[in-house]
Amino acid sequence: MRIGIDARLVFYNRAGIGQYILQLTEALANLKPHEDTFLLLQSRKDRGSIVKSNGFLRRSLWTPSHNRFEQAALSFEISRLGLDLLHSPDFIPPFRRNCKSVITIHDLAFLLYPHFLTKESARYYGQIDQAWRKTDHIIAVSEVTKHDSIKMLGVPEKKITVIHEAANPIYRPLPKDEARRIAKEKYKLDQDFILFVSTIEPRKNLPGLLQAYRRLRDDYKREETLVLAGSNGWLWEEVYETVAKLNLEKHVAFLGRVPSEDLVYLYNAAQLLVHPSFYEGFGLTPLEAMTCGAPVIVSNTSSLPEVVGDAAMLINPHDIEGLTVAIWRVLTEKELREDLICKGLKRAKKFSWQEAAKKTLEVYHKVGKG
């Protein structure tokens, strides 16, 4: 069987779905499947250093990811490869093709929170109804995403397989002194800090986190820095406006996108990770933090309870005072911190890219033979 995996998005965004592509393809390669597997890359950006080949065949495509003419151009390019199956990790497959199709649905935030989208993002992801109808099988990254797909799109349950993501193997516990030294040398973080890691966009609820942080400083007299690690996504301006409005410019550090090899030190150096998102299809960031031994606070919404289990503090993302108190408790209650760290390390071991790759390969075989 000739399998194609669309990896073009990695060359535009290495967070979120980009990380899913990187970790899944590496884990699949380690299984050494007998099929001919092609990594479909972006010809104008591929320098052979982002996506590892690991014995897979590489094919460079001209069609840019999310391009307005992607459907026509990509369909033409795919037709020349002689594939038996195409995996589209970024939701939307080419609708006209001469092979079977598998897509991954990561979340349906664009349907639940359409006001959080730019017009271009709404145009691209607005193709989801055609996408699920014109694919042979769907991989959902969580039970919540599966449930949302059935309820909101009308996808038949038998057409969906849930395969959880996992943390990058680079994330692991490190000595605190070493982690703090690297955090200080590379990012000038020379005191205790509270960490947020994700793309800066509305559904991450950063204005709510900033309000809770302002209360933490004013009402609880805490002086930890708030560190925001992540690139600007869509509609990011409100976050910077809120920082100025709350007079937090001297206390909030914007690091931009932090590579995984540095992020492992930030997770280990942080006092805690806070992830108060309104909605997540999986919630990879809290899992990464738990893998490093950081105590975690997450929203009690969407897939986040599914991922963290009883290993994190759950808060209502709309309850600013509740979030403030949760942060204060993790900072000050030693027994609570140690309990969260212990449970988090144990919980994180339940997720594995090797297992995810094995289940994904089973889906390929099922669809290919079907």
Q: Which of 287, 366, 296, 306 is nearest to 326 (CA)?
A: 296
Using a pLDDT cut of 70, give the percent of the chain over it. Answer: 95
Using a pLDDT cut of 90, give the percent of the chain over it. Answer: 73
Confidence band, pLDDT 50/70/90 cuts, at residue 47: low
| Residues 287-346 pLDDT 10s | 999 999 999 999 999 999 999 999 999 999 999 999 999 999 999 999 999 999 999 999
**Amino acid of residue 224:** E
| Residues 213-239 pLDDT 10s | 999 999 999 999 999 999 887 678 889
The domain defined by 176-348 folds into Rossmann fold (3.40.50)
DSSP state of 44: T
pTM: 0.90
Q: What is the 3-state secondary structure (H, E, C) of 74-137?
A: HHHHHHCCCCCEEEECCCCCCCCCCCEEEEEECCCHHHHCHHHCCHHHHHHHCCHHHHHHCCCE
How far apart are the C-alpha atoms of 291 and 228, rounded to whole Å? Answer: 19
What mean pLDDT do residues 252-257 have?
94
- With 70 as the cut, is the pLDDT of residue 52 above it? no
Domain ranges of the chain: 2-166+352-369, 176-348
3 state DSSP class of 328:
helix
Residue whose pair of structure tokens reads 């691209």 in the numeric block: 124
2-166+352-369 is classed CATH 3.40.50.720: no
How far apart are the C-alpha atoms of 230 and 197, rounded to whole Å? Answer: 6
Q: Which of 135, 74, 69, 147 is nearest to 107 (CA)?
A: 147
How far apart are the C-alpha atoms of 79 and 131, rounded to whole Å? Answer: 18
Two domains, one topology: 2-166+352-369 and 176-348: yes
- With 80 as the cut, is the pLDDT of residue 179 above it? yes
